[in-house]
Amino acid sequence: MTTPNEFSSCVAQYDPHALPVPAAQAIVRQWATPVDAVERVPLRDALDRVLAEDIVSPIDVPAHDNSAMDGYAFKGSALDAAASTVELTIAGKALAGHPFPGHIGATECVRVMTGACMPADCDTVVPQELVERSADASSIRFSAAAVKAGGNRRLAGEDLARGHVALRAGRIMRASDLGLLASLGIGEVHVRRRLRVAFFSTGDELRSIGQPLESGCVYDSNRYTLFAMLRRLNVDTLDLGVVRDEPAALEAALRSAAASADVVLTSGGVSVGEADFTKQLLRTFGDVAFWSLAMRPGRPLAFGRVWSGERPGVGLPALFFGLPGNPVAVMVTFYQIVRETLLLMAGATPSPLPVIHAASRQPIRKRAGRTEFQRGVAARDAQGEWHVTPTGSQSSGVLSSMSEANCFLILGHDQADIAEGERVEIMLFDGLI
């Protein structure tokens, strides 16, 4: 694993005092070692779990050539012999699960339903709405131009061929994946064990819900947003509550968290305040890779490792993220720095979050030299073009700005002020938050 002293040579723009966001993302990826424990679970319990091995199809899907619609199956060569109209005698019928057992001649057809096995010798289906049936329902006729030879037939293995990979290891299982595996007759799968994440808030001013709110105190919201964001990632969580701004209490909480979890998240206690002890403690029994980012909100963010023993290398290790104390900064840093790391450690192969461009409906002040993640409301106009409006105050303490917003405006490290109508990158919350 990379050590802090090696960062300056392997990461561009390495500066632990004010690290650009892309460089910070590169560092945490290097430290994201996937959990190696695997367990076998029933298919119904596999939703949102990370697949631990490739799934190879044991059968062809579909297992047989079948009809793509309700109609009449026949030999495509009948089209070659026809001038303009094809006339065929109905020899029988085939239903899903009830195939036609015999063979047909060149001028015969079989009534078929969607999903029914194609009768022997048949390779083409004409839709029922394109045919005329005789008065006694013994034959059909249709235009030779109504269908091409081989039309409306699904081939065996067309969806998935036997021996081919159905799902790759590292995939986060979705509802469609469960259906796909069920169609292969697979009832159990190997998945990575869930990642374990411990989290707590720091601050003498914090009170938990249900406690009296004394003068100068506030209710702790960060543990609830962290819990919700972690819940969306389907990790096992350990909520250690609120920890006092006191070195011994913080040390005990960090050691306990490292002994119990793969990752430790804290909020507050990583800035330069007199009572911010977390960074000092990590120098004793942990590694610190960086503690400040060139981003807004979220500048004070510490990242490294923490050990359950009395010094680095002793006891059990856990990755550590010391998030800011301001509520919006907690959410921004989680989604931009922490989220991908947790997915990688869970064994997943995460895709980059989609970013689209939208025209700003108002000027935006921006200082070059840092990445900003402002909150905004994005919508499409009548022509289908995206527009975005910031949600008023962008203070990192205004949590309502996140509730009102439906996207992040991503203003790059080198960008300066944005003019009205200028296009900016946005990341929609839908599917993220």
Q: DSSP for 205-262, please give it.
A: TEE-TTS---TT-EE--HHHHHHHHHHHTT-EEEEEEEE-S-HHHHHHHHHHHHHH-S
pLDDT score of 14: 62
pTM across the whole model: 0.84
pLDDT surpassing 60 at residue 5: no
359 close to 376: Cβ distance less than 8 angstroms: no
Q: For residues 338 and 21, what is the distance between their CA atoms, to the nearest angstrom?
A: 12
pLDDT score of 16: 59
Q: What is the mean pLDDT of the chain?
A: 90
Give the single-character DSSP code of 128. G
pLDDT score of 287: 86
pLDDT surpassing 90 at residue 200: yes
Higher pLDDT, 313 or 4: 313
pLDDT score of 269: 73
pLDDT score of 11: 53
What is the rounded average pLDDT of the residues 58-79?
95
3-state secondary structure of 176: helix
Higher pLDDT, 206 or 187: 187
**54-63, 142-151, 262-271: least confidently modelled range:** 262-271
pLDDT surpassing 70 at residue 6: no
pLDDT band at 402 (very low <50, low <70, confident <90, very high): confident
pLDDT band at 282 (very low <50, low <70, confident <90, very high): confident
Q: Quick one: how many helices (H) and strands (E) in the chain? A: 10, 26
Higher pLDDT, 326 or 110: 110
Taking only Cα atoms into account, the Rg of the chain, rounded to an integer number of angstroms, comes to 30
- Residue 110: phi and psi, rounded to 5, are -130, 130
Half-sphere exposure of 251 (CA within 13 A, CB side): 11
pLDDT score of 188: 98
Q: For residues 93 and 320, what is the distance between their CA atoms, to the nearest angstrom?
A: 66
Q: Which two tokens stand for residue 361?
A: 């409906």
Half-sphere exposure of 257 (CA within 13 A, CB side): 30
- Range 331-353 burial, b when 16+ CB lie within 10 A, else e: bbbbbbbbbbbbbbbbbbeeeee
Q: For residue 430, what are the contacts with CB-CB under 8 A and spacing of at least 6? A: 406
pLDDT score of 275: 41
What is the rounded average pLDDT of the residues 152-160?
94
Higher pLDDT, 288 or 387: 387
pLDDT band at 430 (very low <50, low <70, confident <90, very high): confident
112 close to 123: Cβ distance less than 8 angstroms: no
pLDDT score of 116: 96
348 close to 171: Cβ distance less than 8 angstroms: yes
- Per-residue pLDDT reduced to its tens digit, 342-379: 999 999 999 888 999 999 999 999 989 999 999 999 99
pLDDT score of 379: 95
pLDDT surpassing 90 at residue 113: yes
Q: For residues 329 and 338, what is the distance between their CA atoms, to the nearest angstrom?
A: 12
- Per-residue pLDDT reduced to its tens digit, 299-316: 999 899 999 887 777 778
- Per-residue pLDDT reduced to its tens digit, 45-65: 999 999 999 999 999 999 999
The domains found in the chain, sorted by start residue, are 4-37+194-345 (3.40.980.10), 39-61+161-192 (3.90.105.10), 66-154 (2.170.190.11), 356-428 (2.40.340.10)
Q: For residue 45, what are the contacts with CB-CB under 8 A and spacing of at least 6? A: none
296 close to 290: Cβ distance less than 8 angstroms: no
Give the single-character DSSP code of 328. H
Q: Which two tokens stand for residue 293?
A: 């980012």
Q: For residue 237, what are the contacts with CB-CB under 8 A and spacing of at least 6? A: 197, 198, 199, 227, 230, 231
**Encoded amino acid at 100, one letter:** F
pLDDT score of 278: 74
pLDDT surpassing 70 at residue 17: no
**Encoded amino acid at 348, one letter:** A
Higher pLDDT, 400 or 132: 132
38 close to 191: Cβ distance less than 8 angstroms: yes
3-state secondary structure 30-88: HHCCCCCCEEEEEHHHCCCCEECCCEECCCCECCCCEECCCEEEECCHHHHHCCCEEEE
pLDDT score of 163: 96
**115-119, 229-233, 351-355: least confidently modelled range:** 351-355
pLDDT band at 433 (very low <50, low <70, confident <90, very high): low
What is the rounded average pLDDT of the residues 221-246?
94
Higher pLDDT, 417 or 247: 417
